[in-house]
Amino acid sequence: MNIGLDMMGGDFAPLEAVKGVKQYLLAHDFDGLSLVLFGDELQLSALLAEQGVPQEKYQVIPTTEIIEMNEHPTRALKEKQNSSISVGFKYLATGKIDAFISAGNTGAMLVGAMFSIKTVEGVLRPTISSVIPKQDGGTGLLVDVGLNADCKPEQLNQFAVMGSVFSQYIYGVEQPKVGLINVGEEEGKGNILAQAAYPLLKENKAIHFIGNVEGRDVFGDKADVMVCEGFTGNVILKLAESVYDIAQNQQIDNPYLNRFNFEIYGGTPVLGVEKPVIIGHGISHGTAFGNMIDVAVRMLNTNVLGKVKEAISGI
């Protein structure tokens, strides 16, 4: 299993990426894993040696360019062919790595995921999700969180399926309860999209649909997988992230609110593409990088993308 890591992406790269590699290897030392690290050879060699990362577990693929956080995604990917992200996607597309992780330019990662590797057969549009910390200790999944700002009902229906599979195989939720984000509890509530999506979800045998969930249910245990278009989902996610900042500002140290530190979840995988691509937050530290490697390994070990394909074909 070869997992590729963009070592130059994120506000604290490459040091924190190196720390993440070390953390992961210390916690999960298994045979058959090789980390493929894309980035500046000199910097990386020095840092990897300094951090004492065992040499037999990684190889460095030297790249000479970096796509910065604010660059235009498609233009940057085209112009910076020797950037860590561009080279990473070439390796992914040609099978030299099995998964690719970066905390760099989100747009470039999305464009790379959608155009350098294939969409899972039958998937209308890939999607991105986020973990949502539940008050009962559980792990919720919100999907889509920003890739698809405008959606058709059929897309929401597919997000529900992909989210369910992911919740089951990656977060270990048996028969995940799927809820439709909406403005009221009853069927028939909502905007045109939610009203049209409801009957599709209701009739979808590949999921366990429990009906509408409202803003007040997001952190509750009503649904494990919460489905909406990427506009609302992105607003919810960023608002949830701000809850952690508020707790910090207010000097509240509470175990549940600490779970709103989204860094602990690593990154968000792109669902619906044929290979694992995981996008981290710009502010990722070592733990986040380590967790992204962990998610990639679990995605490969569980063949979750194969399960997504199966589930989508069964709708």
- Enumerate binding residues for a second copy (CB under 8 A): 135, 146, 149-150, 181, 183, 190-192, 194, 214-220, 228-232, 234-243, 245-246, 249-250, 252, 254, 256-257
Residue 62: in which H helix or E strand, if any? strand 58-62
Which strands make up the sheet holding 34-39, listed edge to edge? Answer: 58-62, 34-39, 2-6, 99-102, 277-280, 267-271, 127-133, 139-143, 225-227, 177-181, 208-213
What is d(CA 195, CA 211) in angstroms, rounded to the nearest whole number?
Answer: 11
Task: Pick the closer one to a second copy by CB: 38 or 265.
Answer: 265
Q: How far is the CB of 238 from a second copy (least distance, A)?
A: 3
Q: How far is the CB of 114 from a second copy (least distance, A)?
A: 17
What is d(CA 221, CA 1) in angstroms, rounded to the nearest whole number?
Answer: 35
What is d(CA 3, CA 296) in angstroms, rounded to the nearest whole number?
Answer: 7
What is d(CA 200, CA 187) in angstroms, rounded to the nearest whole number?
Answer: 12
Task: Pick the closer one to a second copy by CB: 94 or 249.
Answer: 249
Task: Pick the closer one to a second copy by CB: 116 or 148.
Answer: 148
Task: Pick the closer one to a second copy by CB: 188 or 314.
Answer: 188
Q: How far is the CB of 166 from a second copy (least distance, A)?
A: 22
Task: Pick the closer one to a second copy by CB: 243 or 315.
Answer: 243
Q: How far is the CB of 289 from a second copy (least distance, A)?
A: 22
Task: Pick the closer one to a second copy by CB: 119 or 195.
Answer: 195
Q: How far is the CB of 213 from a second copy (least distance, A)?
A: 10
Query: CB–CB of 100/91 below 8 Å?
Result: yes
Query: CB–CB of 266/288 below 8 Å?
Result: yes
Q: How far is the CB of 254 from a second copy (least distance, A)?
A: 5
Query: CB–CB of 5/101 below 8 Å?
Result: yes
Query: CB–CB of 5/289 below 8 Å?
Result: yes
Q: How far is the CB of 125 from a second copy (least distance, A)?
A: 14
121-122-128-133 Cα dihedral, nearest 10 degrees: -110
Task: Pick the closer one to a second copy by CB: 187 or 214.
Answer: 214
- Give the position of tokens 């604290």: 12
